[in-house]
Chains A and B, each alone.
Chain A
Amino acid sequence: MAQVVCREHHELIARRDAGETGASRNCAFMSTRPFLRSFVSPAVLCAVALLAALAAVLQYSLRAFVPGALEPGGFTLENFTALAKPLYARVFLDTVWICFVTAFVALVVGYPLAYALVRARSAALKAAILVIAVTPLFLGEVVRTYSWIVVLGNNGFVNAMLLKLGLIAQPIQLMFTRLGVVTALVHVTLPVMVIMLAAALAHVDRDCERAAASLGAGPLRTFLTVTLPLSMPGIVAGVTTAFAWTFSAFATPQLIGGGQVNMVSNLVYQLGFASFNFPFAASLSVAGLALTFAVLALLRAVARPLEKIGPH
């Protein structure tokens, strides 16, 4: 409606000022696309830089490693056949398992928080939840990981409290265990999960919930049959992003895993900077990227029928 009015107004002015440059410029604003080239070009440059970097990884992954030389040798597929060795296959399996567990726990823990964030009645409470939930996202991996070392270490907070309460006689080992790594990783991925879930929950039509309630459904039933299915797109987006971000984590498995829990990222760094075997590090990265995309595609395929549960 507004656009129609504007157009009519526009045509009126155009007719009145026909021939004047101002009017033809106005028409130009409507019909051509000002700034298109100057706004797209820098973005294209960034895209080219990223593609060039990824192509460099791909190219290196197909080159032979020459021990003692930084320059790689001729083209070969050896790096990829070496990935099938049990040592490396195991790290891949461990990584995928850790990523799935982390994404699942983050979903279960993140959902109530996202719900509270969207539905809280007081604005102050809303702001407080938002800041507390989002701050860890912006702290960076090193600070968060260090904080968890202080919490989980043998002299750390958890053990000190349990010892003081007399619940344990010896410190329990939390560092260098999967439990410790996953706990810290859940903390790392929770903010992005909460943001994605909250964005979906914010767009759930509350009239649907009211309709269910007016037909006699209790709060729990309303939630399970209306709210939860309608928020499915957020669940899918949250789980896929959480998976990809956990896969990307480096400092957390490196410092809390301490060599006992290894993820693909740790292997890539070790091969690059301890053995200078950049071709093999590159092939691990390529395999990791392929794996991430495969899992994301799989999750989306599984989720498609789930999303249809909601009344679309």
Chain B
Amino acid sequence: MENRDEIGRVKIHFLAPFGGKDNWEIEISIHRGDTVRDIFQRLPQPLYEEIYRKVLQPEHARYGVALNGTMIPPEELSTRPLRGGEKISLLARLVGG
């Protein structure tokens, strides 16, 4: 059922192991004023807990969040409002070539 407050939808692309697998995506609806942190909090509890543990809680997380392909600083996760149509990616900050 459509959410009356929905102003758009965003894709969350897991590019590192979350929820037991890597390289998978979901699409969810966003409300006015939603930040990335807000939409994470609406994910199923086990998934949110994993994201909290790996990405949100550590001051210097080993995983990062990219918005439309570019990594964003942790502060923006709770300040930058989403508009709809964005692609949010969770990835490991693993640089090992």
Partners in one complex: no
Using a CB–CB cutoff of 8 Å, the interface residues on chain A facing chain B are none
Using a CB–CB cutoff of 8 Å, the interface residues on chain B facing chain A are none
